[in-house]
Amino acid sequence: MDFGGRHIAVTGASTGIGRATALLLASRGARLSLVARGADKLADVTAGIRAKGGEAVHFAADVGDPAALAAAFDAAEAIFGPVHGLFANAGTGGAFGPVAACPDTLFDDVIRVNLTSVFWAMKRVLPAMVEQRSGAIVVTGSLASERGMPGNAAYVASKHGLLGLARAVAAEAAPHGVRVNCVIPGLIETPMLASLDSNATAEELRDRLGPSVPQGRIGSPEEVAELACFLLSDAASHITAQSIAVDGGMLGTLLP
Ligand SMILES: NC(=O)c1ccc[n+]([C@@H]2O[C@H](COP(=O)([O-])OP(=O)(O)OC[C@H]3O[C@@H](n4cnc5c(N)ncnc54)[C@H](OP(=O)(O)O)[C@@H]3O)[C@@H](O)[C@H]2O)c1
């Protein structure tokens, strides 16, 4: 799996799954453009990649702002050329509460960041991919792309929509040599998971959540990165329109 200098854009690259995937892609020869809001954390990721001889640039942008997102892609392509791979991974967890109490603004924000921004990013990168008859897009879904869960309707709706978007664009892009797939993280140890209980230590969260996973433990960002990297690579050349879970068995099983 050697990306041979291909330009891959990763959103949500400052922490968690996006960061782990960026580091893995860089170690396999991709040239990375990294996007998130947090400039300092992005700079750390970029510096880490460069320290190992890799190539990366970063752009602090809110993916929910179409002008800022477009500007980031413009700047990235001015440096590395057309995007060959897109890992649309940035996401927000929204907030837990009953749907009747969910403010319209919160619902809109979650849909814009988790779903509409990916639509914008796909529109931005697809024409060049189609022209080159080569390209791969991976989006980060969720168990909430495949199942309902109580207390966070906006997140579930956004992640269901995201999987639908991925499948629709996969069907449209397949004849043009472009693949689109969805990775489905289970319970993965990232800042987003930690935000479920800010009073709990990482160890307490592992102990509490692990038993709900058939494998008996939560997953790491690096385990999701392996799948994202594979799907972005030519090793996955006949795989498109798929959603694949990295979840220790959660989606496919019933625990007694
Ligand atoms: N961890 C899990 O258990 C789990 C499970 C299912 C799905 N997921 C999905 O995995 C993806 C990555 O999350 P993670 O678990 O790795 O958590 P994370 O470490 O909190 O990563 C979220 C990333 O998205 C970026 N981001 C959030 N809002 C953004 C915005 N408006 N504009 C630009 N960047 C934004 C964050 O950076 P800034 O804050 O610097 O902008 C960060 O880089 C998300 O789509 C999430 O829904 C995670």
Question: What integer pLDDT is reported at residue 6 of this predicted model?
Answer: 98
Residue 201 CB contacts under 8 Å (≥ 6 apart), including other chains: none
Q: What is the pLDDT of residues 37-77, one digit of tens each?
A: 999 999 999 999 999 999 999 999 999 999 999 999 999 99
Residue 183 pLDDT more than 90?
yes
**Is residue 64 lining ligand 1, measured as CB closer than 6 Å?**
yes
Per the model's pLDDT, the better-predicted residue between 61 and 256 turns out to be 61
Note the pLDDT of residue 159. Answer: 98
Between the two ends of the chain, the Cα-to-Cα distance in Å is 39
Mean pLDDT of 172-181: 98
State yes or no: pLDDT of 191 exceeds 70. yes
Q: Which of 139, 29, 154, 116 is nearest to 80 (CA)?
A: 29
d(CA 54, CA 144): 34
- pLDDT, residue 256, reads 66
Tell me the per-residue pLDDT of 78-122, one tens digit each, with 9 for 90 and over: 999 999 999 999 999 999 999 999 999 999 999 999 999 999 999
Which of 10, 11, 15, 59 is the pocket-test mutation for ligand 1 (most atoms within 8 Å of CB)? Answer: 15
From the CA of 17, how far away is ligand 1's center (Å)?
7
Q: Does the beta carbon of 167 lie inside 6 Å of ligand 1? A: no
Determine the distance separating the centroid of ligand 1 and the alpha carbon of 207, expressed in angstroms. 22
Instruction: Say yes or no to pLDDT of 255 above 90.
Output: no
pLDDT of residue 49: 98
pLDDT at position 24, please?
Answer: 98
Query: Ligand 1 center to residue 64 CA distance, Å?
Result: 13
Cα 256 to ligand 1 centre (Å): 31
Q: Whose Cα sits closest to atom 42 in ligand 1? A: 12
Ligand 1, atom 7, lies closest to the CA of: 142
pLDDT digits (tens, 9 = 90+) for 3-43: 999 999 999 999 999 999 999 999 999 999 999 999 999 99
Q: Is 9 a catalytic residue?
A: no
pLDDT for 67 equals: 98
- Which of the residues 80, 87, 120, 155 is marked catalytic? 155
- Domains of the chain (ranges plus CATH)? 7-246 (3.40.50.720)
Nearest one of 88, 230, 240 to 171, comparing CA atoms:
240
Structure tokens at 80: 């590395």
176 lines ligand 1 (CB under 6 A): no
Q: Is residue 39 within 8 Å of residue 68, measured between CB atoms?
A: no
92 lines ligand 1 (CB under 6 A): yes
Q: How confident is the model at residue 131 (pLDDT cuts 50, 70, 90)?
A: very high
CA-to-CA separations, 34 to 81, 85, 248, 253, in angstroms, rounded: 14, 12, 28, 35
Ligand 1 atom closest to Cα of 15? 19
18: CA distance to ligand 1 center in Å? 7
Pick the atom of ligand 1 nearest to 187's CA: 3
- Measured between alpha carbons, how far is 135 from 181 in angstroms, rounded to an integer? 12
Average pLDDT over residues 165-189: 98
0.95 exceeded by the pTM? yes
Atom of ligand 1 nearest to the CA of 218: 3
Dist. CA 62–CA 42, nearest whole Å = 13
**Residue 209: pLDDT over 70:** yes
248 in contact with ligand 1, CB cutoff 6 A: no
Lookup result for tokens 């690579």: 233
Residue 192 Cα to ligand 1 middle (Å): 6
- Choose among 95, 90, 97, 96: nearest CA to 113: 90
